[in-house]
Every structure is written in structure tokens, then in C-alpha cells.
Structure 1
Amino acid sequence: MPQMPPSRRSVLTGFGSLAATAGLGSAASGCAAPSAAGAGRTRLRFWHLYGGGDGVTMQAMLDAFRAGHPGVGLESATLQWGPAYYTKLGMAGAGGRAPEVAALHLSRLPGFAPGRLLDPFDLDLLARHGVRPEHFPEAIWRRGASGGAQYAIPFDTHPFVLFYNTEVCAKAGLLDGNSPGKREEDGEKGQGKRGAKGRSGGKARLRPLAGVGEFTRALRAAREATGHPGLVIETLGNDTVGPWRLFATFYAQAGGTVLDPTATRVTLDDAKALRVLEWMRSLVEDGHAPRRVDYTGAVSRFNNGDSAFLITGEWEVSTYLTTELPFSMTRIPNLFGRPSAFADCHTFVLPHQADRGGASNEAAHRFVAWMLRHSTDWAAGGHVPAYRPVLSEPAYLELHPQSEYRSVVDDVALDPPAWFAGSASAMQIELGAALSGVLTGSRSPRDGLDEVRKRLRDLLATPDPFGGRA
């Protein structure tokens, strides 16, 4: 028997501290969508949080779906990114009056009480439209399941990657001169039409960098070539999450975990965590990275052309393709033993409806399958399609540099499956603040680790507003 959805009051209690950081009112004011379902058309409402370049791309995809499906009245609503979006979506599911389909970060799934705030997908219905479980990386697909049902269908993965300035790297002798035209992965065709606006590196490729020692030598060579720090990373800022994502990348490479599989116990490994934190601290102490840079500053400093490397999310590819910066991208090097990189995934979910079913539910499944099959367009913004058949399509392989780090789809390090984790979550903000001090010098690595452990325990002690997973 389906579980009853929580009350609106319990939803507001659970999301309240997050909503306060972004403003629930602003989310509510942006949720109304004009009616697009005329007589004889099936109504299909889609809520999402895509702005900027992603928003432009999404709108084009939605227009293409409308053109090809005149019998479906697709209404889309773009809500404010972050806590406000999740508050609004949770309230809609709690009331059973939600849209037919919505976007959700995969890492936020446990906090949406699958079976209460979300309805499961009909996998047979998806299969009729050409989408099956075997089309996705197993680990990502598995994270979308709960209680034997599938509640989230992965659209992409958006990982931390290594941006590199090809001119600076050439001066520093860091490009792969042994095979001048060699592509990082088989099947790539050269600079595609999506990269034509920028100077995205041509055939210049960064030589493989493995291990802390080799990466450090590359940073030193870059500094000697330019007189500037070789690496830019986000170290501080209001609600900064960059330090957490940086740590999560390399701690996962070291084989460490943060919480146990049930997300009820802290499992931090002191030796592995301190090894990573001490290396992170050395980046600024040894002059390889600026000490005090917020997110916007990191993006801008790399665009100045003085630094060899930037570690950030692949979504910034759109920024650099519109400038004259000579750059390319690759996976974050394996420095600590495993080729992992922090990531999250955009997914499609079915918010709970008291009367879900019929033509509108079928249209929701058809819409999700269509978006997956056409996700080459979505990949132009840097995201790696989760629907594997797209990864071998010539149109995707011609995207440069977006297709060059596609193999990371099998090595993503997601936040632990806790209701308080994930994108725009309390955990990322809390731990980002704790680790920011390690980079800026206000905390030692030991103090930073102790503070991370304390904040994790505080989060674990906070009652789950939905009373545990379905």
C-alpha cells in the first residue's frame, strides 16, 4: 500500500532552514506556467531549475519536443535554482497536486521520500519508448532506485573536471608532444561546431598526469613559465561548496567514505582524509594556487590566461567557449589511487500526484525518453549524457572539448545517500565552510577534519522530516 505523503507543515519544517537561504516566496512566485494544453491535447507540466546557458539549451529542446508532439500540451516552469526549488517541489508532492514531471539532482533523492513525495516510473512504459536500465551506468541507475522501484531516471552527470590553458601548458612543456594529434579517447573527430566560437585547444592535449608528485611538478613548471600560480580553485565565499567538492574528489580517489551505506554513521578515515587535506593545504602554502578566491573569482582568474589549470564543474565550458581563451578540458588526474571525481546527476522524477495515471502519465514517460535520446544537444553545455547510446553518436563525439572527459560517467563520486546531502544541501554548505579554512589558513588540516566530523554528527542527529526512507 502506498505510504501517505507528509503534511505541508512537515515539508516546510524539513526544508525550512534551506528555504531561508534563498527565499520561499521567490520560488512560489515563479512557479505558475501558462496553460498550453488546448482542446484535444494532453496536458504535460514540467518543472525545472535550469538557468543561464542550460536554460537556453533546455528551452530549445522543449520547443523541439513541442514541434514533434502536437498532441501534447507541454507547459514548462523554470523555478529558482537551489533550496527554494526543492522546497516548492517538496510542497507540491506533499499536496499531491504536483506537475507530471520535474528535474531533481540525484543526490537529493533520499530527501524526497520516494513513495511519498515522488511516484515510481513504469519501466515497461519507458521500454516502449526505447529506454531500458541497461542503457545507463549501473551505479548511477542504482542510486535512482528505492524499495525495488525506480524513482529517478538519470539525464546526465556533471562532474568536477580539469580545465587547462593550452598556451600556458605548451610553454610549460605539459602537452603530449609524443603524439601530436592524439585524442584522449578513441572516436573523437576534432573540434566540433559547438566549439567553433572559442579557441578550445585544437588538437593540443595535456599529457597524462598521475600521482601527486607528477601533478605537483606540472604546477611548478606552469608557475616557472608564467610567474603565476599554476592552479585556480575556489577557496572561500558565502555558502561556498567548492572546498567540499574538491575534498570529495580526492578523498574518493583515496578510497575513503564519509557515511556508511545506510547514511546513519560517520565513516571518515583519518589517515586518508588527512593525506588529502594536507595536500590541499600545500597547494596554497607552496604557492601553486591563490589562497583567497571565491567561485566567481576563480572563473575569472582562469579566463585571464595566467594559470595553467582550473578545477571546477564542467558547466563552465560555456563561459570559455564565448571568450578567446585557448583552453581544453580533461578528467581530473588520478592522484590518490582511483580515477574518481565529485559529481552529481540531473534526473527526471515524477512528483507525487493523487491521481497519477492515464494519458498525462504516458506523456511524461514519452517526454523523458525523448529528452534522453536527444541529450547530445544537452551535452553542448558540458554535461555528460547518462544515456549511454548517445555517448557513441558521431554528433556527440564531434563536440570539442565536451566529449573528451566522457569516460568519467563510470567513475563519479556522489554525495552519500543522506536526506541532508546533495546539491544546494545543508551538508555541502556546512562542510564547504569547514574545509574553506583549511585552504585559506584559518584551520589546520586536523582541525578541519574534526570540524567536518562534528558537523556530520550534528546533521545525523537532526530528525529526518520524512521519518526515513520509503
Structure 2
Amino acid sequence: MRMSLKRLGLISVAALAMTSAAQAQQTVVWWDFLAGGDGVRMKALIDAFNEEHQGDIQIDGTTLEWGTPFYTKLQTSSAIGEGPDIATYHLSRIPLAVDSGTLSEITDEDMEAAGLSDSDFTNAAVEAAKVDGTRYAVPFDQHGLILYYNKEMLDEAGMLDENGLPTGLDGMDNFEAALDEFTTEDGQYGLSMPTGDRYRAVYSFFGQQGGTMFDAEAGGFFPTDEDVEKLATATETMKRWVDNGWTPSQIESPASLALFTSGQAAFFIMGNWEVPTFTDLAAKGEMFDWGAVELPVLFDQKAAWSDSHAFVIPANAGQGMDAEKREAVMEVIGWMDRHSLDWAGAGHIPALKAVREGDEFNALKPQSDYAGFADTAVFDPRTVLAGPAAPLGDAWGNFINPATTGELDPADAAAEMRDDLNSQL
């Protein structure tokens, strides 16, 4: 009997140890909206984190549909206390999420637990992560509008320096002269850019003029007549490129991409997320020598449309997060930011300065050639109407994109966009 009791005691101790170990491991429920190449890279990061943190923290990841379905599900789930512990989010949508009570504040103490502080990121990203001075997100990357170029065409025109970077493109006259030079009667264009994405270029050029899109205290959207004029000027710029035949009037994203990759356009303006597309084509021998740089400065200052993938902690009504779980969540966030060099392979710029300014990133091409836009990024304004799948995007599509093709007068479109958005405040 004593032998049996001893054996039972050993079994009990072992079971207790196993239970204690199981309780010690934290499971962090994760939602993201990342598909395609982004999704593959994020899954690899999650797997690497889980392997490194076995027995301590494990991420239980789920990918949901991008856009309205994701944001709606996160908002409703958080409202009934059934949201995840952590989620990816666009910084441009933070004001709307805060207004709906979806997100939990991320305090300075939380950031310290992750080994992070505001000084580790660009001012633009830090401000975009806050509402009324309160932080609700931690930036993971900055993605924005850049200029892709055909190195072979520019080299033949004598427009490349010794490092293979374009020369002589800054200034409206210089850039338009380049567009004209590369446009021919046999179907070659100076520029390819999808019609539906032109608003990003217009917003960039608006930012290059120092325009203010939104100021709650000064009257809302485009608060002065000068701001409306700057929007009209930026829109007229793109319309002029269409009118002169330097870029197609109406072209969908796949056709616009094909126009550039087939060598029928010298330049392609699009977000940095197309970098993997060109990298993969080049690896298969199906792409010419290409590069990517910041947008040329056509007006007064550097500026480019930008947004940021970031991490947020849903509020989850009635489900308080205990200290151990919160510490685990912040460990996930800090680890992801410190390992964001792998994410940069998708073309994104690491938000964490230590990664972005490191030797390994500087050796990454063409990412390091356009990384400077992170410091002069123009984010959506701090308003509940901004962000992907939000009213601001509808306004761009309803007024500005059509004005670039002559369906609306640029000045009228700018004024109508202002009035439409202000009517929704």
C-alpha cells in the first residue's frame, strides 16, 4: 500500500507540474486581414514567434477578409466581449475605431513592457496612432506611394546616375518633360497608374503644396479657400497628364500593372506593395531591370500619401485583460516590430527606426531607396470619416478620380468633395 501511495504521489506531483506549465503558457488570440504575399510573410513571422516562445506565449492566428468585413467584425466582436487579444489595423482608421469604442488605450507602461517608446517611430506614425493625445496603436510599418521606373529606358535616355537612380525628375517642368519624352505614338506611355488609385497621387501633390485637408476647429475639411484651390491644382495636374496622352485616361489595376511590366511605360506610380510582384517576375526572368524611389517633388516640399499597418488591442467589453495576458500581448507587439526586416520583403518600410536605419535594411533594394517617404508621409486626417473602406475613400472616388479624366471640372470637384465630407461630420 505504501508503494502505491508513493507512486500516486509521484503521479500527482507530475500532474501538478503539467497543470502549472499549462497555466503559465499564454495564448494570444490574433486577427489580421493580410492575404497574398503579406499573409505568407505574416504567417512566417507568427510561426517564428511561436517556435521561439514555446511554453511561454503562443499566437493563435486567424486571417479575415480585408476591408469593411474585417473592421465590422472586429467592432461588433469587441462590443460583446468576443474580440481577439490583438489585431492588425490601419492607422488611418484609428479615429473611427476610437469613436466606436473598439480599441483599448496602449499606455506608456504597455510600451515599456514591449521595450518600445514613441521615440522609436517617426512623428507622423506616432501622431497617427493617437486620438487627442491618447495612444491606441503601435505602428508596424509605413506603406505609401512611390515611383517605379524602367532602368533600361531611363539609362538609354541618360537619366540614371552611377547608382542606377533617376536624375532630373524633381520640379513639375522636369517631370512633365520626362513624361513627354517617353510617350510615343506607337502606344508607349510616360506613366502608368490605375485610374481608381489616382487620388493617392492627388493627395500627395496636395501635401506637397502644404495643404490642410481637415481641421476640426477651423471648419472641417479643406477649411480655407486656399486649401480647396490646392486640391484643385493637384487634381488638374493629373488631368493634364491624361489630356496630354502621357498616361491612359481609363485603366484598371491589372492593365496598368501589365502596361509597366511589358515595358510600355517608363514610370509606374503605385504603393510599395507591388515590390514583391516585380521581384518575383525578375526572379523568373520575366522583368526588365527596374527600381523604385520616392515621388519626385513637383511642388514645394516632399510629401507622399501613406498609411500604416499597426497593432491594436480591442477593448472587449466586460472582458478585462489580466496583467499576464497584457504583458504577453505587448511581448508579441515588441517582437514583431523588432523582426520587421522580414516584413520589409513585402515592400513595406519598417516603422521601427532601429530596423529601418540598420545595415541590413539599407542593403535591401529597392526598399531603402524609397524609405525616406516615412519621414514626410501624409496620412489621412484625424477624423472618423477617414481610412480604408470609409467615407473619405468614397469621396475621392466620387469626385477626384472622375475629375482626372475630364468627367468633372477639377475646381468644381474639389469644392463638391469639401461640401460632401463636411455634410457628414
Q: In the alignment, does 2:425 pair up with 1:440? A: no
Per-residue Cα deviation, 1:110-158 (whole angstroms, up to 9, x for no partner): 0012693211123224324421111111221122123443211111110
Aligned to 2:10: none
Alpha carbons 1:164, 1:328 under 8 Å: kept: yes
1:34 aligned residue = none
| Aligned residue number for residue 100 of structure 1 | 85
- Aligned: 1:271 with 2:229: yes
Partner of 1:359: 324
Amino acid at match of 1:375: S
* Structure 1 residue 420 corresponds to structure 2 residue 385: yes
Counterpart in 1 of 2:417?
452
Match of 2:170 in 1: 210
| SS of equivalent residue, structure 1 residue 305 | coil
**Offset at residue 230 of structure 1 (A):** 0.4
What is the one-letter code of the residue matched to 2:320?
D
2:204·2:303 contact (CA, 8 Å) conserved in 1? yes
User: Which residue of 48, 58, 62 corresponds with 1:64?
Assistant: 48
User: Which SS does the other structure have where 2:222 is aligned?
Assistant: coil
Q: Which of 268, 292, 311 is residue 250 of structure 2 equivalent to?
A: 292
In the TM superposition, structure 1's runs of 4+ consecutive aligned residues that sit over 4 Å from their partners are 37-40, 224-227, 261-264
Letter in 1 for 2:192: V
1:333-392 deviations in Å (ceiling 9; x for gaps): 110111000010111000013211232211100000000000000011111111100012
| CA distance in structure 2 between the partners assigned to 1:250 and 1:95 by the alignment | 42
Query: 1:187-213 deviations in whole A, cap 9, x for unaligned?
Result: xxxxxxxxxxxxxxxxx2111421110
Corresponding residue to 1:221 among 153, 164, 181: 181
1:341-360 equivalences in 2 (<5 Å): 341-353=304-316, 354-360=319-325
Check the 8 A contact 1:114/1:146 in 2, yes or no.
no
**Greater share of helix:** 2
Structure 1 position 79 matched with structure 2 position 64: yes
**Any idea what SS the aligned residue of 2:84 has?**
coil
Give the superposition deviation at 1:61: 0.4
Instruction: Give TM-score, length-normalised by structure 2.
Output: 0.88
1:262-312 CA distances to partner (integer Å, 9 max, x unpaired)? 596122523322222221111010111111112222122111111110111
Question: Helix, strand or coil for the counterpart of 1:139?
Answer: helix
Aligned residues: 394
**Using a 3 Å threshold, how does the CA distance of structure 1 residues 155 and 330 change in structure 2: closer, same or farther?**
same
Query: Structure 2 vs 1, CA of residues 56 and 100 (structure 1 numbering), >3 Å: closer, same or farther?
Result: same
Q: What SS does the corresponding residue of 2:364 show, helix, strand or coil?
A: coil
Determine the C-alpha separation between the residues in 1 that align with 2:386 and 2:345. 28
Contact 2:99–2:384 at 8 Å: present in 1 too?
no
CA distance in 1, matches of 2:228, 2:43: 46
Point out the more displaced range, 345-354 or 450-459: 450-459
- Judge conservation of contact 2:105–2:134 (CA < 8 Å) in 1: yes
Give the Cα–Cα distance (whole angstroms) in 2 for the partners of residues 357 and 149 of structure 1.
21
CA distance in 1, matches of 2:414, 2:135: 35
- For the residue of structure 2 that corresponds to 1:113, the secondary structure is helix
Residue 395 of structure 1 corresponds to which residue in structure 2?
Answer: 360
Query: What's the C-alpha RMSD, in Å, of the aligned pairs?
Result: 2.0
Structure 1 residue 454 displacement after superposition? 3.1
Relative to the length of structure 1, the TM-score reads 0.80
Q: Evaluate the alpha carbon distance shift between residue 148 and residue 96 of structure 1 in structure 2; reply closer, same or farther with a 3 A threshold.
A: farther
Contact 2:191 2:268 in 1 (8 A): yes
| Letter aligned with residue 102 of structure 1 | A
Distance between the aligned counterparts of 1:231 and 1:158, measured in 2? 21
Is the 8 Å Cα contact of residues 146 and 294 (structure 2) preserved in structure 1? yes
Larger radius of gyration: 2
Residue 249 of structure 1 and its aligned partner are, at CA, apart by: 0.6
Gaps of 5+ in 2: 1-20
Contact 2:32 2:62 in 1 (8 A): yes
Match status 1:162 vs 2:122: no
Instruction: Give the C-alpha shift of residue 45 in structure 1.
Output: 0.7
State the secondary structure of the residue aligned to 1:308: strand
1:248 to 199, 203, 226: 203
Do the aligned partners of 2:272 and 2:348 also contact (CA within 8 Å) in 1? yes
